Amino acid sequence: MPEKKNAETNSSTPPIDRQEVLERIGGDEDFLKELIDIYKQEFAEKAELLAKAIEEKNFQVIREAGHSLKGASANLSLPALREAAWEMEMAGKEQNLEQAQKALTKLKKEYQRLLEYLG
Amino acid sequence: MKNTFVETASRQKSRFSVLVAEDDPLTKRLLEKKLKDWGYTVLKAEDGNKALKTIKQPEVRMAILDWMMPGLEGPEICSKLRQSKKPKYTYIILLTARDTSFDIIQGLEAGADDYMTKPINFMELRARLKTAHRILELEDNLIKAQKKLLKLATMDSLTGAWNRRTILSFIREELERFKREKNPFGLLMIDLDNFKNINDSYGHQAGDAVLKNIVKMLKKNLRPFDRIGRYGGDELLILLPNCNIFNTGIIATRLLEHIRKNKINFRHRATLSATLSIGGTSTDSISQPNLVKLIRTADRALYLAKKLGRDRVTLFGDSIKMEAKEKKNARKEKR
């Protein structure tokens, strides 16, 4: 069973656990690049979708988009993004618009940090 | 497991196809790539409805279903598939980001075989798919063995006709139907004339071949729902649903003539001619018919056919019913 990653994430921890994700995909660097590209595209789409859903108070979409972004982040070993996506999913579930707004800000900030890290 | 390792792609192709149902593109691509590396044929679905449609395809024997998907969710797909009449078993692994025990139980009760939590540990997934493989192979072998056993238990191995026990149980079933629906059926008891001579002149293997070929020839001249069984050595029983005594006679005569007119192979390029004696009866010519009465009446008719010189059909009814009919006719004549 994978360990639960509830550890606090802060700006000093790297946004991607490269070793962990490489282990998971069998050490294939090219494949990792492909996955990162898929993630970038997915993130752009989901961020847009989420902004719109928050505007329209569509909690169902907030929850679903948060959930699937959480899965993607987990599979790519992006702990901070995973946490932010989880907060988004919870906000959708609890119908908390303020929390959703906060989670979106956090998602965007962490995504920016990832892009900078990847260079 | 901190050491980095490079896996080698499996060269052996799996005969089972795997459905990956996952709406998150990254997870889907990840699964697809790994499964292909391991030799699986992968089918993909992005939402629940497409997943349900795909999982019903016969070649899909394994499925990795995401719990949360647009349309139908993973457990719903499980229970819908289990209720469907897909003939071969499909092994389902549910994928979930949630990991409370409540969810796991709900998923398993919906009909999933296994579950995994995200992020996917691929070493673990591969091992679990091997388990799936093993279970599917066990299932396939079991079904194959059951089919073979059923055949062995119901067929006569020499002639390919039903064996004695099975043909008798078909007659019992037909009698039950007759009691409910009053639709008569006929019964023929057939004996190959001079079978002993064939065995004595050409050997038992030739005798076996003749018997086998006669069954084949009779089958070709019967309706698809007629049933032929081996009653004893060279005695056959034929059950003719939906036939009164008149129709029974017509079919019996047709069979008799067919065998008489055609040569029978008994060895490579060697043929002989043979004739049959046929005794027949039907439920409409017996009062309160049961299995014993039917067999006994057909047997008596066959005995008479042989006694009268073989190569003929004799039909019998029940003497009480016959007498009643005669009395009725006699009364009519008096008037």
Q: Tell me what pLDDT residue A71 has.
A: 87
> A34 vs B69, which has greater pLDDT?
A34
Interface test with A, best of B10, B23, B24 (most A CBs within 10 A): B24
pLDDT tens digits, residue range B211-238? 999 999 999 999 999 999 999 888 999 9
Q: Report the predicted TM-score, pTM, of the whole model to 2 decimal places.
A: 0.67
Q: Tell me what pLDDT residue B327 has.
A: 67
Longest dimension (CA), chain B: 110
pLDDT tens digits, residue range A5-36? 444 555 678 999 999 999 888 888 999 999 99
Chain B contact for A36, CB < 8 A?
no
For the segment(s) B164-334, the CATH number from 1.10.3720.10, 3.30.70.270, 1.10.1370.30, 3.40.980.10 is: 3.30.70.270
Tell how far CA B82 is from the center of its chain.
22
Distance CA B96, CA B104 (A): 9
What residues in A contact B37, CB-CB < 8 Å? Answer: 26
For the segment(s) A18-118, the CATH number from 1.20.120.160, 2.40.40.20, 1.10.10.10, 3.30.200.20 is: 1.20.120.160
For the segment(s) B17-151, the CATH number from 3.40.50.2300, 3.40.50.300, 2.40.50.140, 3.30.360.10 is: 3.40.50.2300
Q: How confident is the model at residue B324 (pLDDT cuts 50, 70, 90)?
A: low
Interface test with A, best of B26, B66, B115 (most A CBs within 10 A): B26
Q: How confident is the model at residue B3 (pLDDT cuts 50, 70, 90)?
A: very low
Q: Tell me what pLDDT residue A115 has.
A: 95
Cα–Cα distances in Å, from B66 out to A42, B36, B83, B134, B176? 17, 18, 20, 23, 51
What residues in A contact B120, CB-CB < 8 Å? Answer: 24, 75
Q: What is the DSSP string of B182-206?
A: ----EEEEEEETTHHHHHHHH-HHH
- Delimit the domains of chain A by residue range: 18-118
Number of residue pairs across A and B with CB atoms under 8 Å? 75
- Delimit the domains of chain B by residue range: 17-151, 164-334
What residues in B contact A27, CB-CB < 8 Å? Answer: 4-7
3-state helix vs strand vs coil in chain B, percent to 5: 50, 20, 30
Q: What is the DSSP string of B230-264?
A: E-SSSEEEEEETT--HHHHHHHHHHHHHHHHHS-E
What residues in A contact B101, CB-CB < 8 Å? Answer: none
Contact B55, B85 (CB under 8 A): no
Q: Tell me what pLDDT residue B121 has.
A: 84
Average pLDDT over residues B183-207: 93
Cβ separation of A27 and B121 shorter than 8 Å? Answer: no
Cβ separation of B117 and A1 shorter than 8 Å? Answer: yes
> B324 vs B1, which has greater pLDDT?
B324
Strand partners, B278: B190, B313
